[in-house]
Amino acid sequence: MSDTPVLRLESVRKTFGGSVVLRDVGLAVPPHTVTVLIGASGSGKSTLLRCVNLLEEIDDGAIFLDGEEITDPHVDPDSVRRRIGVVFQAYNLFPHMTVLDNITLAPRRVHKVPRAEAEDRARELLARLGLAEKAGEYPDRLSGGQQQRVAIVRALAGQPRLLLLDEITAALDPELVGEVLGVVRDLKSQGMTMVIATHEMAFAREVADQVCFLDRGVVLERGTPGEVFGSPTAVRTQQFLRRIV
């Protein structure tokens, strides 16, 4: 197994109209590990994930995917996005398409996978996530938790190297959170490399190999869950955890 991190950020700086949102952010995500980003609203978690997916242009620094600098202006952003799966807070499924069509759209249109092959793979993934019988349903017939699981299947359909999950349980009723976190737990056990922004601290503690506490755009603290949750060194980390846990 190669030691090259799947994802590496080097001194990333991001500003919006003069205000610095990410400051000198460094991060390395080894293969088959889970990195969890925690921090107050507005600390920069979503912006960091959006920079990785090249939805935002960074002002300074560099981002590497499998050792390749993806922030190099010569790199085709679409080729990068094909290697990264993303799930956001809102499920963003197309309401006028069935579950199966939602999942196979990108593989067929973007990756040029033949329909039968795309559908076989989609059904296999749906079965793995306990959604086999939902292939022909429209999204509004599913619960929020089921819709979010379909969004995860859709992100996996392109066989990504890296999965970015941005507060994927934040919009769910509390009783539906568990089924979605269960899927993430399964993906971790299957070796998927992930970067997850979440406010679910108990889950972060359980699933993370590495926890990064973001404070006003700075990685103020990083370590194993035991280190960050058990003995945080920065005063602001202690304050944040006292408020939230």
How many helices and strands (H and E) does the chain possess? 9, 10
**Residue 104 in the binding site for Mg ion (CB under 5 A):** no
Distance (Å, whole) CA 223 – CA 140: 40
Please work out the total of residues on this chain that contact ligand ADP, with binding judged by CB under 6 A: 10
Residue ranges of E strands in 147-244: 162-166, 194-197, 210-215, 218-223
What lies within 8 Å, CB to CB, of 88 at 6+ separation is 151, 166, 167, 168
Distance (Å, whole) CA 113 – CA 116: 8
- Report the partner that residue 21 touches, choosing among ligand ADP, Mg ion, none (CB closer than 5 to 8 A by kind): ligand ADP
Tokens 């590496």 appear where?
A: 8
The DSSP code for 31 is T
**Residue 237 in the binding site for Mg ion (CB under 5 A):** no
Distance (Å, whole) CA 161 – CA 212: 21
Binding positions for Mg ion, 37-96, rule CB under 5 A? 45-46
Among positions 5, 7, 8, 45, the unique one binding ligand ADP when judged by CB under 6 A: 45
**Residue 42 in the binding site for ligand ADP (CB under 6 A):** yes
Q: And the tokens for 17?
A: 């109209």
Span interacting with ligand ADP, options 39-47, 74-82, 122-130, 135-143, rule CB under 6 A:
39-47
Span interacting with ligand ADP, options 34-42, 66-74, 92-100, 229-237, rule CB under 6 A:
34-42
Among positions 33, 43, 102, 148, the unique one binding ligand ADP when judged by CB under 6 A: 43
Q: Which is nearer to ligand ADP, 179 or 215 (CB)?
A: 215
Task: Give me the residues that bind ligand ADP (CB under 6 A), please.
Answer: 16, 21, 39, 41-47
Task: Give me the residues that bind Mg ion (CB under 5 A), please.
Answer: 45-46
